Amino acid sequence: MVLVSALALAGCGSDAAPRGERPLFTSVSPSPAAPSAAQPTGSPSTGSQPAVPTGSAEGGAATEPAPRSGTSQAPLPARTTDVSMTANLPGWKQVFVEDFSAGDVPLGGFPGPLYSARWSAGYKDGTPDTAGQKNPGKTGYYPSKVLSVRNGSLDWYLHTENGITMGAAPMPKIPNASSNPPRDNSLLYGRYSVRYRADALPGFKTAWLLWPDSGVWPRDGEVDFPEGDLAKIIYGAVHYDRNGADAFEKLDSDQSVTSWHVATMEWSPGRIEFFLDGRSLGVSTKAPTTPMHLILQTESCLTGCPAPEAQGHVSLDWISVWVPA
């Protein structure tokens, strides 16, 4: 999410950010349980079986219900998609790619000269995140304490200092496609793919999201993927306006963040589809219809706070973005 004149809360466990950068937001979805067993997902080409989309209590029914029991029909094969950092794809033109191969950047130095043309560190040190807007001084964004580039990956060092739990929300500078208002990192429809992993850190979470340029929420929607507490499963969510209030549809995987995964969202007119390791988690028809911008929002205290001594890393190996061809 983003702040406009005030801070915004974004994501399905809630999440915040500024945009000037964003307006106050209060999206809260229940967090799914952790996977029942470890899944062997050692490479991005290893996929999970698609989970049946689950509508949350606030979000209404899912768009693709499970088939009725007792039917003799064989299940349809899972829809799949490319999981590589390739150039153009059928129906999609690549407009942004980053694999952090330009060199390392020390903690607190991101983006630095190597990446400043293509990245922003996002919200400044001390900006309250979603939970921090409700409990000032307890949690917030601190890129100077969190972000670095090491071993060819963008790294979040998630930890607590002096009683403050720290995250960061960097933003890529995707070529601008928005004219109202004009800004970097804005598209109307697109395909977004990341290869990432994280340590199992209860209480920290990702809510890497598309937030409306207008800042008008929930009217203009929100899309979160990959989202989830770092000790639980990965899921995606699509927020929309229902009678003037936030509603959302949530699509669960059965995978945890501790293995490398490729998470892809395809945003087209009338539909959002989430893929994890190339296999579809399902489709929502509640797709936004106005320009959105991407924020890699990583924070804490939305599904319970981390232990004070908890520390670990989220690693982004690469990110690739396409627009409709």
pTM: 0.80
Instruction: Render the burial of 96-129: b for 16+ CB within 10 Å, e for the rest.
Output: bbbebeeeebeebbbbbebbeeebbbbbeeebbb
Q: From first to last of its 325 residues, what are the pLDDT tens digits of the chain?
A: 433 333 444 566 443 333 333 332 323 333 444 443 333 333 333 333 222 222 232 233 333 333 333 444 556 667 899 999 999 999 999 999 999 999 999 999 999 999 999 999 999 999 999 999 998 999 999 999 999 999 999 999 999 999 999 999 999 999 875 565 667 789 999 999 999 999 999 999 999 999 999 999 999 999 999 999 999 999 999 999 999 999 999 999 999 999 999 999 999 999 999 999 999 999 999 999 999 999 999 999 998 999 999 999 999 999 999 999 9
Indicate the residue type of 168.
A
The count of other CB atoms within 10 Å of the CB of residue 244 is 7
Q: How far apart are CA 310 and CA 64, in angstroms?
A: 38
Q: How far apart are CA 28 and CA 143, in angstroms?
A: 24
Strands 312-324 and 190-198 come out as antiparallel
What pLDDT is recorded for position 63? 33
DSSP line for 183-219 = -SS-BSSEEEEEEEEE---TTEEEEEEEEETT--TTT
What pLDDT is recorded for position 183? 75
3-class SS at 146? helix
What pLDDT is recorded for position 60? 31
The DSSP output letter for 277 is T
Continuous H helices in the chain: 112-115, 130-134, 143-146
Q: How far apart are CA 17 and CA 204, in angstroms?
A: 16
What pLDDT is recorded for position 58? 28
Q: How far apart are CA 136 and CA 125, in angstroms?
A: 14
Please choose, from the candidates 113, 185, 174, the residue with its C-alpha nearest in 3D space to the C-alpha of residue 149.
113
Please choose, from the candidates 205, 190, 212, the residue with its C-alpha nearest in 3D space to the C-alpha of residue 320.
190
